[in-house]
Structure 1
Amino acid sequence: MTLPPAASVHQASGCFYQRWRSLNDWLRDLEQFWRPIPFMEPVPGWCHRYPELAGWFQSLPDSECDHWENHLPELAERVAEVVPGLAHYSAFLALPRFASAPEGHQAALTEASAVDMPGRKRLQAGAFSAAVAPLKWPVLDWCCGKGHLSRTLVRQGTDQVLGLEWDPELVEDGNRLALHYGDPVTLVRQDVLAEDLVLPPGHHGVALHACGDLHRQLMRRGAARGLPRLSLSPCCYHLTAHSRYRLQARKTREYGGALTLERNDIRLAVQETVTAPERVREQTERVSVWRLGFDALQRHLTGRQDYLPVPSHPARLNSGNVELFCRWAAEKKGLNLPSGVDWELWQARGQARHRQVRRHELMRHLFRRPLEVWLVLDYAVFLEEQGYRVRLGTFCDRQLTPRNLLLDAFLA
């Protein structure tokens, strides 16, 4: 297997394609470990082919699951004893860190001026701003919300920021904040996906965590307009109008061995979170147990062995129990429940499946970051094809945000 070239912020033309292709082939070779979704497939195929490995995962206590979840490169080293391809794990993920202030503290807005801005978001904006400094052109802040990033970027020397945002209330609030603090920021209401969108020339387009098609639109429209610089930290890659992911670059699309990914495959890339409060994590786990309990119940009643998707549940069910959830889910799916259902049994089945899913997902989670890097390398190749010199790296530690990749492209 051809390993990717050593990572650097600046890479020679063509290196991103070479890295993408090597990573693509590696992911394709190991897809039996990340294609199956444990929540939907009780026993992924690899468990039959590697019974000792499956047994090791099943034997892990919860505390070790927590440990490995937060130390995936070390888990890859451990599993590589059985799956040799994982020995290349860290090499495929090696990316440099952009020079910036530690966690963005020096570049971030002060707490006093970061009105309506959570502390973690404040530091993320600061780290991003420091990583893209110095600023040479007027800035175009894409999907800017209230303009928190816009106002942060002003501290990096630009004397003009234009923010585009769909929500008129956010636009109004953002302009009020900019006026109050005397920042040269103007927000306008704009659907950035509109066909008739015309971008102002000579601007530096930035996007911090614009979702899916939104950040891809900035790349396409910004490159078509010839914007001199594009800086984006992508997020929520699976949020797209297409059921199947469309590669952005001509070279990657033309590669005969390119992966074909559905939305659920892409969703894996953004499953990691390090910011959810304990209360939210407990609630998520409780509802997952109920969903798995209902799935076990519907399989028992119908004889089907396929997962039955259930829509998002109303918030009122969060304080309920497995019976209330299952009755709601059965109604939504047109399933008649018999009388005398042993709800304690299906609660226990859900708990057992949740324990099983968590351990099988450890294997699948090894491929979260590789899939994300695969996606962003495709973006880098696309931007190179449009005539940009591209830098790729991280702008902060994952503890601040797992979505810490930064593409920085200069028109050559």
Structure 2
Amino acid sequence: MATSLRTYLDHNATSPLRPEVAEVVLRVLQLPGNASSVHAEGRAARAEMETARAAIARLVGSKAKNVIFTSGGTEAANLVLTPSFRRLGQTGATRLLIGATEHPCVLHGHRFAAERTGIIPVDGRGILDLAWLRAHLEAAGGERVLVSVQLANNETGVLQPIAEMARLVHEHGGLVHTDAVQAAGRVPVDLQDLGVDALTLSAHKFGGPKGAGGLVLASDQYEIGERLIRGGGQEKNYRAGTENVAAIAGFGAAAELALAGLEQEAARLRELRDEAEAHVRRIAPDALVVGAGAERLPNTLAFAIPGLRAETALIAFDLAGIALSSGSACSSGKVKRSHVLDAMGVEPALAEGVLRVSLGWSTTKEDVFRFAEACEKVAGTLYKRKASAA
């Protein structure tokens, strides 16, 4: 039977709603007005949205007018990854290049034909192969290319050299989108410093509500000809439909809280992550830490203990009261093969055992201690079986 004391270490899947954000969401839920209405009630709803828009812009170093609200990061990526995304006065991209370790919303959500899409390889650390990208851009000649690469990987936490990549792509006249869903609120994200044309966000990764996200453009000098959701013209005609004002307000409140404590929280989480990693290495000296040679998010630890299958381990941890993830999970909750680990060249036997610990605002030292206790029991059972079989 599962223990009544639960330890939640799956913030990369979703981070629990911050209490302060919940208060904002509940308050705004009770506002009666439609944000498109001109009466006082409508203006009150609109004011909540614009306050949130400004907070989100500050989180990523943008201007509020360039923030477009969507239902989440997936919709935002689907919206921008189209041949009709272009700078004003220019033609759109005719080819899309995607990092090999991208989130499925990019791999499967873009609107380019299959034959107009290419995959950028990564090395064993999960880092983008910039030499491959440079050669491909040079071979493309005058063709305009759109490149989409995650700022931080959801499975491994590995951070990509986005600024360097953006300079390279712009030298060849291309456009750059980065999925900043996992990075925003955890590490500094500045759209201008990154040099990208667009980035996408999701509120529930840093303590905001599920169902709110955004596309942030580098300026107002862009357009998207083919909109996903057409209708009443909300969000400057980028995304029709009555806005989810309460979720958007919560998105803004979470962004404000994340930005205010960003440096201190990153340091705190890195210390806890390193402590969890040290426990894993002590318990299982032969464990693989995925992406160990690369710069990673301060909150993410992906590891595999040889001989331990993720499916079995997840059940054992869950029964011990610990909520973790495997390398990847499909919508039905079944563990499946991770394309991220495949792209990094992780041996299939090890890839099948990769577990992900992801920390967040609610994580404490006690949580890490409970994880270590559970890990010792799970790994101890494995090593006993190995010893008896020897």
TM over 0.5: no
With normalisation by structure 1, the TM-score equals 0.28
Structure showing greater Rg: 1
With normalisation by structure 2, the TM-score equals 0.30
Structure with greater proportional helix content: 1
